[in-house]
Amino acid sequence: MTTEPVIALTVVIPLFNSQDWISGTLNDVFLEVETIQETVEIIVVNDGSTDQSLQRIQQLQSDGKIKVITTSNEGRFSARATGVKQAGSEYVVFIDSRVKLNPGSLKFILQKIQSNGLNQLWNARVSLPDGLPKVSYFWEGIEFLAWRKHHRGPQETSVKKDDLDFHPVGTTMFGAPRQWLLEVNEKISESHLNLQSISDDTKLIRHLAERADLNYSPMFSCVYQPRTTSVGFASHAFHRGTVFVDGHLRKGGRYVLPFLSLIALQVLVIVMLVTRPIFTALLLCALVVILFSLLKSLNMPKRARKALMTYGIIFAPAYFSGAIAGLASKAKNRFPSVDTTI
């Protein structure tokens, strides 16, 4: 009688329209798994992809290298939750389908949980590849401004729940105990929120951080493939504006005052452009020159400075339009309409 091997780790990859990246992502995971003696399970949750994503991985599925689950398009949160339910191990690592895994990352996590137990949270350090179109580095500039202290020190560190706003928090590559994920996913699912528009990564991690510190290490890291077109960037900016409200705009949060100040500034600029267009245009040009010099003095990477200066005019209206949509959604959830029919 043969016994099934004990699964030491489960990798869950949510997949939606990633035909250009999913093969590379999986190949990196396979190379990593080959260096690990324990059994690693790979689950891909196809979230209703409409491109060739599923076809790209069907051979891998038939070879038994991965387990593929196909669902209707319900969003990344639901896709990951489905993968967690099907996981055969007690520890799960999420990896986005646009990720190039840095060698040694999964082995590092296995060593940590074998040495210190399952109850650990790990957030990967994420970087971008070189040689992409300028627009691809816009978010790198935003993150540099928001989390300069974090990026200044790449050493291994632990972050407590009250300090999460000072660090990049996300599920691009993220590890947590399966049981904790099951419990938090159920709690979020029962909140009756629109799971496709919530800040699925920030909300998830804030709940988990109530149980343990969030860890970072250069040994657990990856390279992320960002949007490379202006249209994709604008759409993503709108989405990030929407989920910003859900994930960060809360009482006492670090970003409340800057967000309200930027909203007021944008309204002021629009009014001035209407009433004093020439003066306002000249003033904005002067401010751009000053801002560029300031960013350079902060040692922001040149590619990120250029992206911020070039695409800020696209980012601002798209992001804040998304934020307005997020505020409207939040208000609707807080003050639901009452059915007065008899």
pLDDT at 230 over 90: no
Confidence category of residue 65, pLDDT binned at 50, 70, 90: confident
Residue-level pLDDT at 290:
84
Residue-level pLDDT at 153:
67
Task: Give the pLDDT confidence of 145-177 residue by residue, as tens digits.
Answer: 888 777 776 788 999 998 888 888 889 999 999
Token pair in block for residue 225: 């493939």
pLDDT at 341 over 60: no
pLDDT at 261 over 80: no
CA 158 vs CA 36, 123, 227, 271: distances in Å: 26, 10, 30, 45
Q: What is the pTM of this model?
A: 0.85
Confidence category of residue 249, pLDDT binned at 50, 70, 90: low
Residue with tokens 């091997």: 5
Residue-level pLDDT at 100:
93
76: Cα within 13 Å, side-chain hemisphere? 23
Residue-level pLDDT at 3:
63
pLDDT at 305 over 50: yes
What is the chain's length? 342
Query: Region 14-34: what's the mean pLDDT?
Result: 93
Burial of 197: CB neighbours in 10 Å, binned 0-12, 13-18, 19+: buried
Task: Give the pLDDT confidence of 317-339 residue by residue, as tens digits.
Answer: 777 777 777 777 666 665 444 33
Token pair in block for residue 183: 């419990």
| One-letter amino acid for residue 127 of the chain | S
User: What distance in Å separates the CA atoms of residue 294 and residue 223, rounded to the nearest whole number?
Assistant: 28
pLDDT at 259 over 90: no
Residue-level pLDDT at 335:
46
Domains in the chain with CATH codes = 8-228 (3.90.550.10), 247-334 (no CATH)
Mean pLDDT for the chain overall: 85
Which residues make Cβ contacts (< 8 Å) with residue 337, sequence separation at least 6? none
The larger pLDDT score, comparing residue 79 to residue 257, is at: 79
Lowest mean per-residue pLDDT among 140-144, 194-198, 311-315:
194-198
Q: CA angle, 295 as apex, 291 and 297 as ends, to 5°? A: 115
- Collect contacts of 294-297 with beta carbons under 8 A, ≥24 apart: 295/141
Query: Region 55-69: what's the mean pLDDT?
Result: 87
Give bridge partners of residue 126 from the DSSP assignment: 222
User: What distance in Å separates the CA atoms of residue 302 and residue 317, rounded to the nearest whole number?
Assistant: 24
Task: Give the pLDDT confidence of 107-142 residue by residue, as tens digits.
Answer: 999 999 999 999 999 999 999 999 999 989 988 988
Tell which residue, 79, 78, 101, has the closest CA to residue 25.
101
Which residues make Cβ contacts (< 8 Å) with residue 315, sequence separation at least 6? 138, 233, 234, 237
The larger pLDDT score, comparing residue 105 to residue 239, is at: 105
